[in-house]
Amino acid sequence: MLLVACKGRQGTVMNEPVAEVSRPAWVLARPVDDLDYIGIGSCPKARADYQESAKKNALNDLASEISVRVEGNSLLSSLDSRTRFTETYQSNIRTTSNEQLEGFEMVDSWQDAREYWVYYRLDKSVHARIKAERKEKALAIARDGFGRAHERLAAGDLKGAFDQDLRALIAMKEYWGENDQVTVGDRQVPLANAIFADLQRLTSSVRFAPLPERCLLDYSDRFAREMLITASFSDGTLARRLVQLPVTFSWPGTSGRVSESRGTDEEGHVRATVKHVEMNGATADLLVRLNMDEMVSPELDPVFVRPVVSSLTVPEVHVPIDLTMPRLHVTSNETNLGQPVSAGIAIGIKEELTAKGFRIVGRPADADLLLDLRASTREGGQSNGFFTTLLDVTWSFRDRRTNDVVVEGGRQGVKGIQLDHVKAGLDAYKKAGNDLRKELVSSMLNTLL
């Protein structure tokens, strides 16, 4: 089996050494040159693309000599303290720089029967000039985007302003670790830091004003409430309603957390209907939040965008949800073989409904809902000294004002077995009561909420 590998720097041990005299000095020992960046690469000729591979290795070797600086007061230094981003940044910038190398020249190449070698160099002064030209262009693009961001914000388009700032920052990403002083207006500013500070200002100055201030849910509105949110920008110097701003609404739902995203209209308003709320505890909140995912264009490289956006303050407001359960009047008629039952099914259902927040009232006129429950038993058979009694139950919840049925149901032939029919009837009541207090209440809550 033949093992094939390429290399950038010298150090590979050859299986069959070639006479040293046949190799040029730059293959035998890496040149030392203070004026140039050096790149040397080689590749076994067993590979079909050995020439291209050797050139690529040489350029990678050359690029590795060009360091990526990180100054202490730079944006990169600031991001690294928050997200430990420097290593990822340097890796990605080095890859980009490799692809954009200019001004290098091939000094020499050499080959024998088994290997191909290539030698590149890049004049350090040429590289510095090319880099300075690129940096000047990048900073000009960034400065222009920074200016357009202020124009968008003045028009109430915070999303557009955010996009312009972010694009400006990405345009100069290769220089996040360097000094980038530019003139903006009549003052000198470090551009990357200024743009990042503007992004922070944009998000932290967003204000959400809910109307009403508390989300009140009750039976009269069928436990649904439309909330109106006004989005505005206020930083002490500028106050504007915000248009086309992506806003997320979320709250605990009966089938899991509900999340909806909408944009503000031309007046800075956005609406959402809160419904199907799950109240596991005493309180729940409607969370209104700036949708940062929709603030960022998918065109922008997430490697560089993510640490920037994750360092920003995301504006949000919590709106308390107050759930008021209906007032309920209960009417029941429960008998066991024709005789009234005092501790029947209705008592357990009242307890369960009360635990869920329903308010039991004594007069039908004071109620929102009317529960009518009817239960009776009939004799079944008997066998081996045991008697069977069957219980039939029906119930209905009605709206007091409209008399419309909200939910209804029943059970037929619930068996009770005991030593006589009366005791068997009470046994059937006990079985049905345990099942129905959960089933009936759950059915009612699912219908209402």
Q: 206-290+313-323: what CATH class?
A: mainly beta
Segment 213-260, tens digit of pLDDT: 999 999 989 999 999 999 999 988 888 999 999 999 999 998 899 999
Segment 58-98, tens digit of pLDDT: 998 998 888 766 666 777 767 765 656 666 776 666 666 66
Segment 176-190, tens digit of pLDDT: 888 888 877 778 888
Q: Domain 327-448: which topology?
A: Double Stranded RNA Binding Domain (3.30.160)
State the Cα–Cα distance between residues 397 and 328, nearest whole angstrom.
9
- For the cut 60, the answer to whether the pLDDT of residue 18 exceeds it is no
Contact 285, 319 (CB under 8 A): yes
- Residue 95: the pLDDT is 61
**Triad 327, 361, 438: Cα angle to 5°:** 65
Residue type, 407: V
Say what the pTM is. Answer: 0.75
- Residue 4: the pLDDT is 41
Q: Burial of 373 by CB count in 10 Å (0-12 exposed, 13-18 middle, 19+ buried)?
A: buried
User: How many residues comprise the chain?
Assistant: 449
Per-residue pLDDT, averaged over 124-152, amounts to 93
Q: Can you say whether the dihedral through the CA atoms of 269, 210, 164, 291 is positive or negative?
A: negative
Residue-range domain boundaries for the chain:
20-124, 128-204, 206-290+313-323, 327-448
316: how many CB neighbours lie within 10 A of its CB?
14
State the number of CA atoms in the 13 A half-sphere of 196 facing the CB.
23
Chain position carrying tokens 């693309």: 49
CA-to-CA dists, residue 227 to 50, 172, 230, 246, 287, angstroms: 67, 42, 10, 16, 12
- Residue 213: the pLDDT is 96
Q: What percent of the chain has pLDDT over 90?
A: 64
State the Cα–Cα distance between residues 287 and 249, nearest whole angstrom.
6
- Domain 20-124 matching CATH 2.60.120.1270: the answer reads no
Segment 390-422, tens digit of pLDDT: 999 999 999 999 999 999 999 999 999 999 999
